[in-house]
């Protein structure tokens, strides 16, 4: 597929080396924002500004929402085969520009390119392709005698997305929305917008009709709130913090908009007492907890272990954490890059200090800057042990490379600890007996559970219980979120 380009993403690099992105994408075209302010994009490896993007305005959102509303009339009635064709073209475009996307994620998030090639390229590309498959099989209308049930697109969808997996999170929202026949207004994270601009180029080249996809860069309190409260937006899909998610829901409430929320987690990883390969389990636990520098909402950040195995787990965790290759995210050998920003660095350091102050045992890592890293927002891989289940670091989402190890005495206590937070996004259970592992997994109040290291499944429904959110993304259930149900009686 031939991919068009435009000056906003690949041109206008100033003498100071900063890329000046000057446009938003509205109604099938690149256009200047109505505002003059910009948002600086910082490379977390060195703290330097690498790009600027427009700080969008209420007027920009008005234009985008109006374009989406106008386009909905025809797109909602479009042929399913045509939608699937465009979704596959977008998937192909993402794969074609994979190295560019992975490099963008390394520079504005700090994700190592080796991780980025999967999480920021392969996964979003597969999401678009999977949605094409889904709508070709989906029954948009069923008939039973005098009753017909019709599934119709919700309307205009506002998509407000986070910085940790920016292209994946955008794709998880707009792929099913477009597949369902909805039109979208997207606000990418101001912290990590570069891959979103590449995606907009890909979509521009894929033949999507004008107004179906619109993208406004900018700040959450301005662009995000304008989208959530806009009269032309019928549904809001948001991923981020609980605080921001409840704000979005409140803004959407006066218009009774449909809202889906994915709000993070403090997920348990339960090791049962019959596990016979503890080194394998602990190594996997460290890899999971520290993926993307621990900036993963579904990371299994609470390792719940039998008390009699605690000392062995500590030594295994120390070894595995200290083996993480911390370094330049642009290099293939790097396993762990920096956290995304100075704000996030200070947040993570604050939690580490709180853990020490509350008396948890610091196994490795801590407050000292890793050796050899005087610049950037690098955090030493950190493991706490003998952590009290009700302590701050066991209850609150840290969003950094910090694992807490919590001992238990009985299986029932392990389940109680696992369910003992406000979150319920993901979880894990390890046992020599698969039936026992599944029995415990079914008692966890969480949206997903990995049994004995089960892999992430990109078509499994993703979402949480309790404060982890409302609704599901990915796979057939992800498509369902963007459809209304109509009954025709005869």
pLDDT tens, 42-100? 999 999 999 999 999 999 999 999 999 999 999 999 999 999 999 999 999 999 999 99
Domain span at 125: 7-263
| Percent share of the chain, pLDDT over 90 | 96
192 contact partners, CB below 8 Å, separation of at least 6: 41, 105, 108, 109, 163, 164, 166, 340
Q: pLDDT value at position 15? A: 78
Closest Cα partner for 28 from 163, 210, 240, 175?
210
What is the DSSP-derived secondary structure letter of residue 462?
Answer: B
Q: Which of 229, 246, 263 is the last residue of a domain?
A: 263
Residues 439, 393 within the same domain: yes
pLDDT digits (tens, 9 = 90+) for 108-148: 999 999 999 999 999 999 999 999 999 999 999 999 999 99
Catalytic residue among 262, 314, 397, 473: 262
Residues 76, 17 within the same domain: yes
pLDDT at 6 over 70: no
Please report, for residues 100, 274, 317, 366, 382, the alpha-carbon distance to residue 284 in angstroms, rounded to integers and kept in the order given.
29, 17, 10, 21, 15
Q: Which of 263, 290, 308 is the last residue of a domain?
A: 263
CA 471/CA 490 separation, integer angstroms: 32
CA 260/CA 250 separation, integer angstroms: 12
Please, is 304 exposed, middle or buried when counting C-beta atoms within 10 Å of its C-beta (0-12, 13-18, 19+)? Answer: buried
478 within some domain: no
Residues 74, 192 within the same domain: yes
CATH number of domain containing 175 = 3.40.605.10
pLDDT at 9 over 60: no
Instruction: Say if residues 458 and 91 touch (Cβ distance below 8 Å).
Output: no
Q: Which of 263, 285, 308 is the last residue of a domain?
A: 263
Q: pLDDT value at position 4? A: 43
CATH number of domain containing 423 = 3.40.309.10
CA 284/CA 308 separation, integer angstroms: 20
Read off the tokens for 249: 């829901």
Q: pLDDT value at position 7? A: 39
Q: If DSSP codes are grouped into helix, strand and coil, which group holds residue 281?
A: helix
Residues 54, 139 within the same domain: yes
Q: What is the 3-state secondary structure (H, E, C) of 80-118?
A: HHHHHHHHHHHHHHHHHCHHHHHHHHHHHCCCCHHHHHH
% helix, strand, coil for the chain, step of 5: 40, 20, 40
34 within some domain: yes
Residues 87, 145 within the same domain: yes
Residues 384, 274 within the same domain: yes
Please report, for residues 68, 186, 390, the alpha-carbon distance to residue 203 in angstroms, rounded to integers and kept in the order given.
15, 13, 46
* DSSP line for 303-336: EEEEGGGHHHHHHHHHHHHHTS-B--TTSTT-SB
159 included as an active-site residue: no
Q: pLDDT value at position 12? A: 72
CA 161/CA 142 separation, integer angstroms: 34
Single pTM value for the model: 0.94
| Percent share of the chain, pLDDT over 70 | 98
Q: If DSSP codes are grouped into helix, strand and coil, which group holds residue 240?
A: coil
pLDDT digits (tens, 9 = 90+) for 376-422: 999 999 999 999 999 999 999 999 999 999 999 999 999 999 999 99
CA 59 to chain centre: 28
Overall domain count for the chain: 2
262 included as an active-site residue: yes
Count CB atoms within 10 A of the CB of residue 32.
13
Read off the tokens for 18: 């900063």
E runs forming strands in 161-250: 183-187, 213-215, 235-239
CA 308 to chain centre: 36
Residues 311, 408 within the same domain: yes
Read off the tokens for 302: 């609470």
Instruction: Say if residues 169 and 263 touch (Cβ distance below 8 Å).
Output: no
pLDDT band at 14 (very low <50, low <70, confident <90, very high): confident
Catalytic residue among 159, 190, 225, 297: 297
320 within some domain: yes
86 within some domain: yes
Q: Which long-range contacts (CB under 8 A, 24 or more apart) does 6-9 make?
A: 6/30, 6/201, 6/204, 8/197, 9/194, 9/197, 9/198, 9/200, 9/201
149 within some domain: yes
* DSSP line for 244-263: HHHHHHHHHGGGT-EEEEE-
257 within some domain: yes
207 within some domain: yes
Residues 303, 451 within the same domain: yes
CA 278/CA 126 separation, integer angstroms: 33
Please report, for residues 96, 190, 291, the alpha-carbon distance to residue 123 in angstroms, rounded to integers and kept in the order given.
14, 22, 15
pLDDT band at 2 (very low <50, low <70, confident <90, very high): very low
Q: Report the residue count for the chain.
A: 490
Residues 285, 255 within the same domain: no
pLDDT at 1 over 50: no
pLDDT digits (tens, 9 = 90+) for 267-295: 999 999 999 999 999 999 999 999 999 99
Residues 112, 217 within the same domain: yes
């Amino acid at each position: 597929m031939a991919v068009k380009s435009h000056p906003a993403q690949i041109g206008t690099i100033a003498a100071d080396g900063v890329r000046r992105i000057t446009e938003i994408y509205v109604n099938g075209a690149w256009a200047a924002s109505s505002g003059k302010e910009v948002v600086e994009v910082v490379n977390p490896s060195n703290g330097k500004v690498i790009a600027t993007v427009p700080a969008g305005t209420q007027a920009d959102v008005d234009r985008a929402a109006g374009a989406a509303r106008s386009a909905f009339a025809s797109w909602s009635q479009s042929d399913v085969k045509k939608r699937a064709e465009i979704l596959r073209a977008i998937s192909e475009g993402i794969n074609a520009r994979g190295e560019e996307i992975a490099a963008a994620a390394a520079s504005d998030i700090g994700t190592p390119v080796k991780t980025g090639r999967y999480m920021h390229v392969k996964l979003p590309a597969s999401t678009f392709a999977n949605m094409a498959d889904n709508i070709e099989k989906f029954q948009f209308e069923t008939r039973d005698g005098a009753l017909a049930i019709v599934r119709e697109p919700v309307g205009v969808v506002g998509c407000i997305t986070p910085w940790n997996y920016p292209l994946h999170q955008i794709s998880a929202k707009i792929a099913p929305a477009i597949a369902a026949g909805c039109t979208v207004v997207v606000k990418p994270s101001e912290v990590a917008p570069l891959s979103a601009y590449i995606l907009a180029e890909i979509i521009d080249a894929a033949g999507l009709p004008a107004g179906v996809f619109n993208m406004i860069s900018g700040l959450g309190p301005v662009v995000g709130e304008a989208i959530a409260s806009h009269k032309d937006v019928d549904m809001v899909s948001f991923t981020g913090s609980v605080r921001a998610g409840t704000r979005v829901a409140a803004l959407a409430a006066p218009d009774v908009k449909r809202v889906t929320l994915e709000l993070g987690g403090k997920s348990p990883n339960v090791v049962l007492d019959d596990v016979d390969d503890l080194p394998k389990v602990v190594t996997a636990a460290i890899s999971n907890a520290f993926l993307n520098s621990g900036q993963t909402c579904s990371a299994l950040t609470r390792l719940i272990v039998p008390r009699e195995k605690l000392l062995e787990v500590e030594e295994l965790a120390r070894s595995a954490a200290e083996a993480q290759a911390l370094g330049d995210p642009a290099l293939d050998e790097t396993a762990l890059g920096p956290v995304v920003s100075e704000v996030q660095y200070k947040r993570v350091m604050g939690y580490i200090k709180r853990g020490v102050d509350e008396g948890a045992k610091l196994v490795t890592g801590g407050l000292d800057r890793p050796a050899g890293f005087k610049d950037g927002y690098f955090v030493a891989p950190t493991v706490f042990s003998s952590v009290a289940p009700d302590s701050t670091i066991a209850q609150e989402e840290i969003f950094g490379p910090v694992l807490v190890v919590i001992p238990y005495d009985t299986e029932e206590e392990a389940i109680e600890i696992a369910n003992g937070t406000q979150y319920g996004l993901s979880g894990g259970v390890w046992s020599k007996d698969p039936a026992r592992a599944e029995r415990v997994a079914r008692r966890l109040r969480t949206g997903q559970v990995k049994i004995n290291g089960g892999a992430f499944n990109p078509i499994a429904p993703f979402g949480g219980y309790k404060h982890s959110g409302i609704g599901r993304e990915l796979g057939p259930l992800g498509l369902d979120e963007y459809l209304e149900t109509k009954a025709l009686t005869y």
